[in-house]
Amino acid sequence: MGARTARSDAAELAEPAWQYAPAPESRDVVSIEAEYGLFIAGAFRPAANGPTFATINPATEEPLARVAAAGPADVDAAVAAARTAFEQVWGPMPGSERAKYLYRIARQLQERSREFAVLESLDNGKPIKESRDVDIPLAAAHFFYYAGWADKLEHAGFGPDPRPLGVAGQVIPWNFPLLMAAWKLAPALAAGNTCVLKPAETTPLTALLLAEVCQQAGLPPGVVNVLTGAGDAGAALVAHPGVKKVAFTGSTEVGKEIARAVAGTDKKLTLELGGKAANIVFDDAPIEQAVEGIVNGIFFNQGHVCCAGSRLLVQESVADAVVERLKRRLATLRLGDPLDKNTDIGAINSREQLDKIDELTRAGEADGAQRWSPPCQLPDRGYWFPPTVFTGVSQSHRIAREEIFGPVLSVLTFRTPDEAVAKANNTPYGLSAGIWTDKGSRILWLAQNLRAGVVWANTYNRFDPASPFGGYQESGYGREGGRHGLAAYLDA
């Protein structure tokens, strides 16, 4: 190790010994309609005053469908439908009956998983192996998990007779469209609430397919409503007086606006916002494993992950070795067609997000950090960004402080565990962290001292519906998942 010259490395990186043959997943499993309506009171209908917008495939810029844009009248109609369903059907229904619907939705998600995976990759740009192996199975797992709670709420630790709140207004982002819908809907429905869901403008299609699954499962009309549209539809939903609970996942900036809009009302609020997590590698860590964890931490889902390990904190004595191995590993990642089963890095979700990543990486260079990407051919059309590593990053650099939400890693070093904790906590966020070390006592000490809602040890980006997820500080408040995730939807 260390004996290789930069030249032979570069030559090897530029000319891999062999290439993967294309292995595209078939698009035929999904039929995309030319136009989609809003899902209100169990049926699809156009927006009241008729406007629509296009959703595109970010890997090709090809328009996939036109989708209705909800306005204030549609928000009124959806909230009214949800209120009626809450009062007349879903609220009074025994938990054991509600559970049956959730189980049905979960099973339908499993049965139609290929269809959902292909549609998610088309609309979002994420690699099919991620939508197939992570997004869709986890979405189904959330419905299965919360179905199990529906008839056991009195044993969940919230008193003998916890009551649902009423209509939940739920606004979600584009990075895990179906999974975020499942995180929001499953606990709300299990607890006896009814829902109005606003998916992100750039990724509405799997939420609409989920609405179809609700129909297929025979879910009573109005229990789940889906309002596609832009940020103004989300703003109208959270401000609606008929909404008793607001759940938001997205940027800290919009989260603050929502907190202001909800302040002084009787609405309950949970916010899942941004992050700038530290992934901390000690000199006694198994290096190969840690490198896989670093790659998974920041290049999974193109780095469009709120809990991404976007700051690598590596102990100074092993920093060069870790960075060298990391670069060699990154040179093997395959970027391209999201529907290809061998693709590791898909498309950036939107032009807007690509511009944001571009701006922040330029700031990284301007601040004096060293930028590196493996040799990598970007497709001619669509939105793409190569995996990128910045070394020589200091804590004051924008790329060490601001959430990039893209495939960009900032590398910082430390000498002692205390310094690692101080640097990791030097952020306005507090969503997640990773620790790589051989010592159990060090893991426990760090987990206690890191101000992060989720701490992974010798792994990263592990999710389970039974495990609560959420942040501190500017990463938001409230927990989703597990028993804790029920609390947000109960008057307890």
Stretch that binds ligand NAP, among 141-149, 196-204, 330-338, 379-387 (CB under 6 A): 196-204
Site for Mg ion in 79-118 (CB under 5 A): none
Q: Does the active-site annotation cover 12?
A: no
| Residue 272 designated active-site | yes
User: Which one among 282, 405, 414, 489 touches ligand NAP, defined by CB under 6 A?
Assistant: 405
Closest to Mg ion by CB, 120 or 403: 120
Q: How many residues bind Mg ion (CB under 5 A)?
A: 3
**CB contact set of 107 (below 8 Å; sequence gap of 6+):** 140
Helix axes 113-124, 177-190, angle to 10 degrees: 130
Nearer CB in complex with ligand NAP: 142/198: 198
- Which lies closer to ligand NAP via its Cβ, residue 48 or residue 230? 230
Min dist. Cβ of residue 122 to ligand NAP (A): 17
Q: Which amino acid is at 222?
A: G
Indicate the SS3 state at residue 45. Answer: strand
Exposure of 308 in the CB half-sphere (CA atoms within 13 A): 25
In this structure, what are the phi and psi dihedrals at residue 466, rounded to the nearest 5 degrees? -80, -10
Interface segment toward Mg ion; rule CB under 5 A; list 194-202, 214-222, 259-267, 388-396: 194-202
Distances (CA, A) of 37 to 81, 274, 279, 349, 435: 16, 30, 43, 23, 46
Considering the complex, state which of residue 126 and residue 276 has its C-beta at the smaller distance from Mg ion.
126
Query: Interacting stretch for Mg ion, rule CB under 5 A, among 49-57, 250-258, 282-290, 404-412?
Result: 49-57
User: Is 287 one of the binding residues for ligand NAP (CB under 6 A)?
Assistant: no
Angle, helix 95-111 to helix 205-216, in steps of 10 degrees: 120
Any contact of residue 228 with Mg ion (CB under 5 A)? no
**Closer residue to Mg ion, CB minimum distance, 202 or 296:** 202
234 binds ligand NAP (CB under 6 A): yes
Residues 59-98 that bind ligand NAP (CB under 6 A): none
Cα angle: 276, vertex 278, 282; to 5 degrees:
170
Q: Could you say which of 71, 187, 275, 382 contacts ligand NAP (CB under 6 A)?
A: 275
Nearest to 350 by CA among 476, 201, 162, 139: 201
User: Which of the ranges 122-130, 153-161, 295-303, 333-341 carries the binding residues for Mg ion, by CB under 5 A?
Assistant: 122-130
- Tell whether residue 274 is a contact of ligand NAP (CB under 6 A): yes
Cβ distance 454 to 125 under 8 Å? no
The answer to whether the CB of 268 falls within 8 A of the CB of 246 is yes
Report the alpha-carbon distance of residue 367 to residue 99 in Å, rounded.
54
Nearer to ligand NAP, 99 or 226 (CB): 226
Q: Catalytic pick from 195, 306, 307, 376? A: 306
Which of the following is catalytic: 130, 201, 272, 402?
272
* Phi, psi angle pair for 490, to nearest 5°: -125, 145
Q: State yes or no: residue 123 binds Mg ion (CB under 5 A).
A: yes
User: Which residues make Cβ contacts (< 8 Å) with residue 363, sequence separation at least 6?
Assistant: 397, 398, 399
Say how far apart CA 319 and CA 389 lie, in whole Å. Answer: 13
Q: Which of positions 304-363 make contact with Mg ion (CB under 5 A)?
A: none
Strand ordering across the sheet containing 245-249: 43-45, 38-40, 224-226, 194-198, 167-171, 245-249, 268-272, 476-477
**C-beta closer to ligand NAP: residue 147 or 197:** 197
Contact footprint for ligand NAP (CB under 6 A): 171-175, 198, 200-201, 230-231, 234-235, 238, 249-251, 254, 257-258, 272-275, 306, 403, 405, 431, 476
The catalytic residue positions are: 272, 306
Contact footprint for Mg ion (CB under 5 A): 55, 123, 202
